[in-house]
């Protein structure tokens, strides 16, 4: 219990400094129905699918990816201006961009925006969400569905080929676990080895 408390304290300290970007999306009847991504300027990030989640996923973006996202926030005046298009379009989820730095926090809420920078930043956050969903999928397969591991890795490869994955190194511990254990199918171990090698080569 003491080690868990210390871990929470360390995480809180890590995310105590600004500036930070926070993206929240609420879309009832979708999966997930709610999500939030917090990104620090250091690249440290948190992903959660429940506001009360006390053990969210933590990962780190590359400096290039982090700089790109904060650069878009700068171009959007740190969300000090409206982003909603006002057009009559289908509901695609209530989205909020929030910037916390010097001065008062600023945020903009929207369903659909025609602003190019806003659309690009939204795509970044959606890619992060897709990556963390892929991480959750792989973790579940590794722990509870050994026969499904190969399919999980295949979905990961497809997402990566489509340039939808970020923070790729977070997948390496699970891939190494698969590679080293004969409990998984040979095909899955071979696929995991090739993917891990490709991720390391891209560093």
pLDDT digits (tens, 9 = 90+) for 46-82: 999 999 998 999 999 999 999 999 999 999 999 999 9
Name the band, by pLDDT with cuts 50, 70 and 90, for residue 18: confident
Rounded Cα distance between 96 and 99, Å, is 10
Identify whether the C-beta of residue 33 lies closer than 8 Å to the C-beta of residue 106. Answer: no
**Longest CA–CA separation in the chain, Å:** 56
Helix (H, G, I), strand (E, B) or coil at 57: strand
pLDDT of the residue at 203: 80
Q: How far is CA 44 from the centre of its chain?
A: 11
Paired with 38 in beta bridges are: 22, 46
d(CA 44, CA 128): 12
User: Residue 5, by phi and psi: left (phi above 0), alpha (psi -120 to 50) or beta?
Assistant: alpha
Instruction: Report if pTM > 0.85.
Output: yes
Output the pLDDT for position 3: 46
- What DSSP character marks residue 196? H
> Which pLDDT band, with edges at 50, 70 and 90, does 6 fall under?
very low
**The tokens of 126 are what?**
């959606």
């Amino acid at each position: 219990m003491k080690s868990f408390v210390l871990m929470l304290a360390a995480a809180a300290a890590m995310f105590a400094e600004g500036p930070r970007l926070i993206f929240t999306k609420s879309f009832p009847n979708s999966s997930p129905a709610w999500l939030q991504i917090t990104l620090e300027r250091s690249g440290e990030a948190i992903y959660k699918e429940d506001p009360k989640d006390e053990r969210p996923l933590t990962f780190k973006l590359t400096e290039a990816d982090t700089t790109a996202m904060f650069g878009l926030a700068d171009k959007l005046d740190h969300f000090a201006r409206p982003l909603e298009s006002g057009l009559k379009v289908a509901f695609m989820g209530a989205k909020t961009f929030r910037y916390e730095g010097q001065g008062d926090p600023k945020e903009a809420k929207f369903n659909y925006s025609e602003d190019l920078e806003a659309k690009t930043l939204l795509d970044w956050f959606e890619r992060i969400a897709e990556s963390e969903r892929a991480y959750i999928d792989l973790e579940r397969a590794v722990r509870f569905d050994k026969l499904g591991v190969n399919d999980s890795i295949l979905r990961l490869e497809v997402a990566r080929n489509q340039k939808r994955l970020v923070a790729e190194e977070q997948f390496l511990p699970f891939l190494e676990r698969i590679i080293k254990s004969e409990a998984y199918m040979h095909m899955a171990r071979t696929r995991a080895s090739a993917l891990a090698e490709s991720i390391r080569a891209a560093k």
